[in-house]
Each structure stands twice: as structure tokens, then as C-alpha cells.
Amino acid sequence: MQIKPILSALRKHRLSTILIALEIALACAVLCNACFMISQRVSATHIDSGVDETSLATVQLTGYDSTQAPDVDARALAALRAVPGVQSVSLLNSIPFGSRRGTAGITTDAAGEHFGGVIEFYVGGPGSLQTLGAKLVAGRAPQMDDFHAFTGFMPDEGSVQITQALAEHLWPGADPLGKEFWVLKSHYRVVGVLKSLVRPDPTGWTPEQRQWSVFLPAQPGPYLTGSYLLRASPGDLPRVLRDALAALAKAVPEVVIDRENSHTLGELRHDVFKNDRAMAGMLVGVIAALLLVTSLGIVGLASFWVQQRRRQIGIRRAIGATRSDILHYFQTENFLIVTGGIVLGMVLAFAINLLLMQRYELPRLPLYYLPIGALVLWALGQLAVLGPALRAAAVPPVVATRSV
């Protein structure tokens, strides 16, 4: 296939060629960035929670005073433990993907000079870390005498388990066991490291911050109450939760069951990422519409060119060109235009990515998106041009002998 005659023919249609190439370039840039954003959103929804989500559910009670708490708590716990199928019930102030009650800023020195970041304190009663199923990778789990009674938001000292991600952030490269940190005057010592434990509200934080959690053991009391973690076998969980809510309505009729926040952890995870899923869905829709419009543009222009060149095609056929020669001519022409568009599009894709990195703190576009985007557009171009090109190949040589 000779490319030179095609190029000189395109020079005659400079404007249309440039337009189609620009359209392809813009499509390529949007396609690469939109696909990248989709993958970011989808990978965000797959964040590792570090807990046995499939066997966990939570029940939230509100609408009672701290003075009533011990009584309400005793009745609620008794009712929950009596529900058939419940393997364990424990108290935990914050719930992964659910209620958030322990967000605080920490410092890595007693004077409060070195700010460590805003982290999540999971303040839990005895057994709650086991109920969660969070995996310990170093140090030890909480022991009975780690659970202190407290007033206020949380105990003002304690031996805690922190996530690997937080340990690496606070003390990069160092062994976190035995390290200390402070919240104002409250003092905590690291005795264990958890593989991961997601924050209750991961979407409000940067990807790096989403695992900045600490488990702080505490005795149930007036301020650790009403937020229960239930464990049951995965298949049985929806039924157990339903029965638990019904049992609570009977056992503690005077309090308000916060049904909006009482769900299985699977449901809570689904809810937390609803925006990301909606956005990913929208991006998929845009990409589909984009490819459709681009291919329609190629079809329209190629049809026009075929019709315009009917006579020339007839002449070429009359002097010996085969049908496949004509077919290949249009296919090659399309390939050249799309290639031009893709080259420009890659530059544009990176420019847009730079802009997004600044404005939306998106990471850099991985290079492998570019060849994939190019392949998609090449395939799209060839598919779109096939119809008009076949029509061109079907032009009979006799056309050459007729004027117009």
C-alpha cells in the first residue's frame, strides 16, 4: 500500500482531515482520563477493610441519657445475646463504614509540637477486636487489664493497636511497638500492629489516610454504649440482624433504634461508596456516548468522501485496481488520520491529567493507558470506516466512462 498518494489526497481535504483528527485527539484524551478515573473509583470501592465484613453487622441505639446508659446497655446486651445465631456481641464506638465517633488529631510528642495527623480511634469493649476479626501482624492483642473505665469521649491513656499504614506514616521505617503518641494530654502506647482497619468514612480522606486507625480498649460505661457489633455466620447475618432489631424494640422500647445506621457491614460498605459508583457509572455513560459520536462523525465524513470520489474510484478500478485495493485505500486513510489524532490526543491526555492532578489530587496517568486508548480508537476508526469503504469498493469501473 502506497501511503504517499493517500497523503497528497488528504492534503486536498486539509480542513476535514484536521477536524476529524482533532475530534479523535479530544476523544483520546477524554477516554484515557475517564478510564483512569473509573479505575480509581472502582479500586477505591475495593478498599481492604481489615475486618470480617461478611459476618458482621451493627446495631445503633440513641435517645437516652448517659445516666440511663448502664441499664439500657444491660437490657440491650441481654436481648442481643439471646438472638439465635449470634456468635458474639461487643461494644465499639465507631463502626467500619458506619458511625464515626472517635476522630481526633494526634501528636507524636507530649508537648504537642509534632502533629501526626487526624486519625480514627476505635474505642472498643472486651472482645470487640476479636469480633471485628482484624488481623494482628506484630505485638499483642489487648489483655484484660488494658480495658480501662473512662468518662468523656475516650480513655485518656491506654495500650493500643495501630494499623501498619498509620505506623509507617508516623514512624517511617521504625518498629512502632512501644512508640507513644498523644491527643492533647491523653497518652497512648503502641503494643500491637494491625494489618489494616479502615476508617468509618474512607471517602472523606485521601487514599493514604484511609487506613489511619487505632484500636483503643476500654470498659463499657456511660460513653461507650449503644453501638453494638454483632457477629454471625455470613448466610445467617440478615436474619440475625432483623431478629436483633425486633428483640431490641421489645427489650428497650423507650430508646430510639437508629435504623438508618443499623446494617450489615456489607450494606454499609455499599452505601459509603454510592457516590463513587454513581460517578463511575456516569463516566462509563460518557465514554459510550463519546465513542458513538466519534464513530458517527467518521462514518459521515467517510461516506461523503466516498461519494465525492466515485468517479476517481471508477477510473482506478478501470485501470486495474482491485476491490481490495480500494477497500485498503480507505482503511489506510482512516488509519493515518486516527494515528495523527492519537499522537495529539496523548499529549492532550497528559495535559488534562496534569490539570486533574492539581485540582483533584488524582495520581499520574499510568503510561499503559495510552496504548490501550490508541488501540480502542484505531479499532473504532476501522469499524466506522468499514461500511463506507465497502461501498467504495463496490463502485463499478463503468462509472469512469460516465460523466458524473
Partner 1 sequence: MFAYYLDLALRSLKRNKVLTALMVLAIAVGIGASMTTLTVMHLLSGDPLPGRSQHIFYPQVDASPAGYAKGGPLDMLDYRSAVDLWSAHRADRQALLAGSDVKVRAPDARVPPLMVPMLATTSDFFAMFKVPFRYGSAWTAADAASRARVAVISSNLNDRLFGGADSVGKTLRLKDSDVRIVGVMDAWRPSPLFYDVRAGRFAEGQTSSFYDKPEDVFMPFFSGLEVNDGNFWQFTCWGNVATPGHLQDAPCVWVGLWVQLDSAAKVADYRAFIAHYAQQQKALGRFATTQTRMPSLMQWLVFNHVVPSDVKLQTWLAFAFLAICLFNMIGLLLAKFLRRSSEIGVRRALGASRGAIFAQCLVEAGMVGVVGGIGGWLLTLLGLWLVRRQPVEYADLAHLDIGMLGLTFALAVVASLMAGFLPALRASRVAPALQLKTL
Tell me which residues touch partner 1 (CB under 8 A).
15-16, 19-20, 22-23, 26-27, 29-30, 34, 37, 62-63, 65-66, 151-153, 156, 184-186, 203-206, 223, 254-256, 258, 271, 274-275, 278-279, 282-283, 286, 289-290, 293-294, 296-297, 299-301, 303-305, 307-308, 356, 359-361, 404
Nearer to partner 1, 52 or 271 (CB): 271
Residue 248: CB minimum distance to partner 1, A: 12
Nearer to partner 1, 63 or 363 (CB): 63
Residue 139: CB minimum distance to partner 1, A: 27
Note the Cα 56 to chain centre separation in Å: 22
Contact 104, 184 (CB under 8 A): no
User: Is the Cα dihedral 96, 97, 102, 105 positive or negative?
Assistant: positive
Nearer to partner 1, 130 or 295 (CB): 295
Residue 311: CB minimum distance to partner 1, A: 9
As a whole number of angstroms, the distance between CA 270 and CA 266 comes to 6
Residue 94: CB minimum distance to partner 1, A: 14
As a whole number of angstroms, the distance between CA 33 and CA 359 comes to 14
Per DSSP, what are the bridge partners of residue 117?
106
Residue 339: CB minimum distance to partner 1, A: 17
Contact 95, 58 (CB under 8 A): yes
Cell numbers linked to 5: 498518494
Residue 218: CB minimum distance to partner 1, A: 14
Nearer to partner 1, 40 or 339 (CB): 40
As a whole number of angstroms, the distance between CA 100 and CA 85 comes to 27
Nearer to partner 1, 24 or 166 (CB): 24
Nearer to partner 1, 102 or 127 (CB): 102
Residue 313 phi, psi dihedral angles, 5° rounding? -65, -45
Residue 307: CB minimum distance to partner 1, A: 7
Residue 400 phi, psi dihedral angles, 5° rounding? -60, -30
| Core vs surface per residue 286-320: b (16+ CB within 10 A) or e | ebeebbeebbebbbebbbebbeebbeebbebbeee
